[in-house]
Structure 1
Amino acid sequence: MIWLLLASLAVSTAAALVLVPAVRALACQIGMIDKPDAQRKLHTKPIALGGGVAVFGSLLVGCILTLLLDVQFFGGKFSGVLMSGHWKLLFVAAGAILAVGLIDDRWALRGRQKLLLQCMIVAAIAGGGSMIRELSLFGFEFQLGLLSLPVTMLWLLIAINALNLIDGADGMATTVGTIVCLGLGILSCRDGVSFNGIVCFALAGSLMGFLAFNRPPATIFLGDAGSMMIGLFVGVLAIWSSVKESTILASAPVAILAIPLFDSTAAILRRWLTGRSMYATDRAHLHHLLQAKFGSHGMLVVVAVLCLITTTLSVVATFFGLPWLAGIGVVFVLGLLIVTRSFGYAEFRLVLSRMAGIYRSFSTSPRDTESRKLERQHALQGNGAWETVWEPLVEFAKSHDLASIKIDLNMAWLHEGYHASWQSVRLPEKANQLSMSVPLFTRQTMNESEMAIGRLHIIAPANTPMIYQKVAEFVERLDELGPQIDHVIEQLSADDTSHDSKVFHWPKRSETVAPTSEQTARQPTGAN
């Protein structure tokens, strides 16, 4: 019966090798392409989208032909299973989320619109009986009871968007998806070959065939359609691979998904702790940082090795009844990424900084809460001299008795991200504070057009009408902030960040705004 698994893998791979070029040609003909924008999408030429259609089609071909082989040579053990209730629902739901992704790829849905449609699709799957009723994680078991439905929907949404978020570099989601599906397929067949395992191997084969065209330099992308469809299959198959009935989510499938789950968790933490929208885009994902460090092919090798470690240990843990072994694999891989500062280090510092701030706020005596200040600076990505922009802002906040000032910069095309904050331990009451958030711009782009690169937030005590004068002076000084930002970006663009620096002070209105090179040159921070 193991031949059925190998047949599904081989047939779906062959089908993908045939379907992908056809889909690529059609996508180019109808204009479904991903164009570079010099900001976030940095590939050098338009690339075809719609790869998910080819993956889904080859998956269907692999499953159907494998069932025919089963009938012909193995007595038809799985005949009719594809049309059974929960399998039919899964494939219909996958087709639906594929359609949502194609609409998003073509016309760009808003984040909340896409999330709503995802919720409707996963609610249908959960309503069809694929419910997580028990969690068994690393030796601990939890009965969910009334929480079964929300936990199931949350898990499927996490799986869908984890694979979607990680699909930001050539071959990344395809490589991760292949290894994950093979691992889930092996778990599904620990008590004998199952149709769940056949589907897992068929999906892995489809991704292997697609990888031939998606490896660097890619000629076709999965698009949101493909990555979300794969995420849905992986999320559901992870539940079904735990036991024969979809009642439990075990530690091994979760551990196999450790890499994409870590990437999405870090993205959520990064955006939440810096005050960005959850739908904001950046180039600080796992694949972006590994690509900058190891190159396109090196990134895929590193990711493949890390996924193989978590997958192998998870499979061994399941077959030998050692659930803690899967946990060790996850801790080792994630710890390795953080310790080597390859990924997760900036988010780790953000969390520690926030925890330290909470501790200081509770440990500070009441009489010191107004005078004590908390300051944090985090180079989320890159090594730009952003303190030359930040430190004059802090001086201004101190001299004008502001309660809080925060800056958040995100320049995807430069692989730069910076976040800093300065505030009193105890902020004024909401009714007695003035808060303002303003966008920050730069002209230092490839086409010299203005572009928003971040925001500046201030909070000031609003106890007297003098606050209006302070805010007016702050707004006037914003014009002088732009050239400082532009100068740092010019240095980055010229790759001129290897000299010592002296932080300049915010110039007076009568002084020249543009800083000198002697004032702004500095040593790189070495962050990430």
Structure 2
Amino acid sequence: MYWLLFATLSVSVAAALVLVPSVRMFACRIGMVDKPDLQRKLQTKPIALGGGVAVFASLLIATLFALAVDHMFLGGTLHGFHRKWVLLFLAAGSILAVGLIDDRFALRGRQKLVLQLLIVAVVAGSGTMIREISLLGFELPLGPLALPITLLWFLVAINALNLIDGADGMATTVGCIICTGLGILSCRSGISLNGVICFSLAGSLLGFLIFNKPPASIYLGDAGSMMIGFFVAVLAMWSSVKESTVLASAPVAILAIPLFDSSAAIMRRWLTGRSIYATDRAHLHHLLQAKFGSHGMLIVVAGLCMVTTSLAVLSTFFELPWLAAIGVCFVLGMLVLTRSFGYAEFRLVASRLLGAYRSFSTSRLECDKRKLERQHTLQGSGQWETVWEPLVEFAKTHDLASIKIDLNMAWLHEAYHASWQSVRLPEKVNQLSLTVPLFTNQTKDGSEMAIGRLQIIAPANSPDTYREVSHFIERLEELGPQIDHVISQIETGQQTKWSGFTWSRRHESQRVETINH
């Protein structure tokens, strides 16, 4: 009977291969494309969006095919398309619609979050609820926390797949492997409709990957990545030993890579004072792409996902929940220890904890004298200390209580964060706080662009504070050229590196041609 899974997988792949070119052509015709902006979207030309529509349609076709075959030849072993499945597809279609609106008109982050919440609340209200947590053999009933935990799970899964969709083929590859793993979990005691849908979605993504692999000719868009995240959230719950226990070792381990990426992004933005809706190029795929190239990044990500998924599946079959935990720890540990991803966030957290310890252990008499300084190169190799160190000297000279700088240059893959402050800041009523944006014109098109912010806190004990602010404003006039100089050095280094790479490839090609002749 397992032949039905392979037949469904084949139908979904074939449907995607047929539908994607049509969706791509229609998206280009109506102007639903992702345009390069020379800042964060660095592709060379506009790329069609709306790939999620083709994936959703392929999934629906394959599911209906499986149900028809089951009804005609297998006696209805899948038990038909009941109410919960209808609701699942209606909710997924609604998520898809929200994503399409976002792709076309660019919704604000909070608007998108509210719409997501309304949709998943309907699904949770229908009975799809996490009522207990089971990790490493320990079970914890949630009681009144069941609903908020369920809603949080849905939102985390939806946005984790959305956040990881920032490079050609990334979310498609990860989603395909995750759905395959969930499909195997669903069918461990026999074929089920849950397993059929998992394999259908995996097949749809596999077919879509033909057009989405580097260089991509069509993107999933927010519509596709959010829709996949929603399906994964629900199917993970229904793939568990108990439908009410999604936060178990196996489902969480299968989702380890996107969950780690989204958690690191939120932590990075929160600890640097940025909005959690802010965009950057410090996600897992961005760093791996810079290190291994587009195709190498996909191979590495696929390998990592296969390790966590395989061990998660084995942990379920052999009833060894710790096996899934070992797989997750191994993969995430390798990423951090090799400084491929997560190392900067680890340093941010460690630095914040160390600062809290030093603040707690400092005596009252030393609080006003002792200073805490932190510098973090979050991404890139720019010599930002040449900008930061004079600022610290300025803060010491003018008796400031705190000074912080946060820089984010997505098009250069550069990000820097540093802070210097007293252990005990002045009381709110006795402090002057000033935050100013920082700009550069060292962009690809020569336009002015905000690249970060500088914040100071000064004790406001007398009118002399105004004089300190004026000195600070004067200092800003010197800061701009210093930032531009560092950016110029970075761009020169990148051009030199690229020119050397091009010359090496050309020289190697000429050498091979000479040998052939």
Would the TM-score normalized by the shorter structure come out above 0.5? yes
**Alignment partner for residue 341 of structure 1, among 314, 339, 342?**
339
**Alignment partner for residue 119 of structure 1, among 117, 120, 126?**
117
The Cα offsets for residues 312-348 of structure 1, whole Å up to 9 and x where unpaired, read as 0000000000001100000000000000000000000
1:78 matches 2:78: yes
Measure the CA separation in 1 of the matches of 2:62 and 2:244. 24
1:242 matches 2:215: no
Tell me the secondary structure at the aligned position of residue 382 of structure 2: coil
Tell me the secondary structure at the aligned position of residue 41 of structure 2: coil
Tell me the secondary structure at the aligned position of residue 299 of structure 2: helix
**Alignment partner for residue 204 of structure 1, among 198, 202, 205?**
202
After TM superposition, the structure 1 = structure 2 runs for residues 19-34 of structure 1, keeping only pairs within 5 Å, are 19-34=19-34
Contact 2:50–2:100 under 8 Å retained in 1: yes
Measure the CA separation in 2 of the matches of 1:302 and 1:207. 18
Residue type of the partner of 1:322? L
Measure the CA separation in 1 of the matches of 2:311 and 2:152. 25
The Cα offsets for residues 476-517 of structure 1, whole Å up to 9 and x where unpaired, read as 22121111000111111111799xxxxxxxxxxxxxxxxxxx
Tell me the secondary structure at the aligned position of residue 186 of structure 1: helix
Measure the CA separation in 1 of the matches of 2:136 and 2:490. 46
1:108 matches 2:106: yes
1:268 corresponding residue in structure 2: 266
**Alignment partner for residue 303 of structure 2, among 302, 305, 323?**
305
After TM superposition, the structure 1 = structure 2 runs for residues 74-473 of structure 1, keeping only pairs within 5 Å, are 74-78=74-78, 80=80, 82=81, 84-243=82-241, 245-473=243-471
Measure the CA separation in 1 of the matches of 2:84 and 2:471. 64
Residue type of the partner of 1:163? L
CA displacement at 1:76 relative to structure 2 = 2.0
CA displacement at 1:74 relative to structure 2 = 1.0
Residue type of the partner of 1:411? M
Measure the CA separation in 1 of the matches of 2:85 and 2:146. 20
Measure the CA separation in 2 of the matches of 1:407 and 1:318. 47
1:517 corresponding residue in structure 2: none
Measure the CA separation in 2 of the matches of 1:88 and 1:71. 17
Measure the CA separation in 2 of the matches of 1:398 and 1:389. 15
1:67 corresponding residue in structure 2: 67
Measure the CA separation in 1 of the matches of 2:106 and 2:469. 38
The Cα offsets for residues 246-278 of structure 1, whole Å up to 9 and x where unpaired, read as 455321000000000000000000000000000
TM-score of the superposition, structure 1-length normalised? 0.93
The Cα offsets for residues 270-328 of structure 1, whole Å up to 9 and x where unpaired, read as 00000000000000000000000000000000000000000000000000000011000
Measure the CA separation in 2 of the matches of 1:247 and 1:164. 24
1:42 corresponding residue in structure 2: 42
Residue type of the partner of 2:92? A
Contact 2:134–2:245 under 8 Å retained in 1: no
Contact 2:96–2:227 under 8 Å retained in 1: yes
1:248–1:418 Cα change, 3 Å: closer
Measure the CA separation in 1 of the matches of 2:189 and 2:326. 25
CA displacement at 1:69 relative to structure 2 = 1.2
Contact 1:8–1:63 under 8 Å retained in 2: yes
Tell me the secondary structure at the aligned position of residue 225 of structure 1: helix
Residue type of the partner of 2:469? V
1:502 corresponding residue in structure 2: none
Measure the CA separation in 2 of the matches of 1:9 and 1:395. 64
Measure the CA separation in 2 of the matches of 1:496 and 1:322. 48
Contact 1:491–1:497 under 8 Å retained in 2: no
Runs of 4+ in 1 over 4 A off after TM superposition: none
The Cα offsets for residues 96-140 of structure 1, whole Å up to 9 and x where unpaired, read as 010000000000000000000010011011001000001111222
Gaps of 5+ in 2: 497-517
Residue type of the partner of 1:102? L
Measure the CA separation in 2 of the matches of 1:206 and 1:162. 20
Measure the CA separation in 1 of the matches of 2:337 and 2:242. 39
Measure the CA separation in 2 of the matches of 1:343 and 1:154. 25
Measure the CA separation in 2 of the matches of 1:120 and 1:243. 27
The Cα offsets for residues 61-81 of structure 1, whole Å up to 9 and x where unpaired, read as 00001111112221122253x
Contact 2:132–2:244 under 8 Å retained in 1: no
Tell me the secondary structure at the aligned position of residue 132 of structure 1: coil
TM-score of the superposition, structure 2-length normalised? 0.95
CA displacement at 1:244 relative to structure 2 = 5.5
Residue type of the partner of 2:68? L
1:496–1:265 Cα change, 3 Å: closer
Tell me the secondary structure at the aligned position of residue 419 of structure 1: strand
The Cα offsets for residues 403-424 of structure 1, whole Å up to 9 and x where unpaired, read as 0000000000000000000000
The Cα offsets for residues 339-359 of structure 1, whole Å up to 9 and x where unpaired, read as 000000000000000000000
Contact 1:130–1:247 under 8 Å retained in 2: no
Contact 1:438–1:456 under 8 Å retained in 2: yes
Measure the CA separation in 2 of the matches of 1:246 and 1:181. 19
**Aligned residue pair count:** 496
Measure the CA separation in 2 of the matches of 1:71 and 1:118. 34
Gaps of 5+ in 1: 499-528
1:15 corresponding residue in structure 2: 15
Residue type of the partner of 2:485? H
Contact 1:101–1:223 under 8 Å retained in 2: yes
2:509 corresponding residue in structure 1: none
1:505 corresponding residue in structure 2: none
Measure the CA separation in 1 of the matches of 2:270 and 2:453. 14
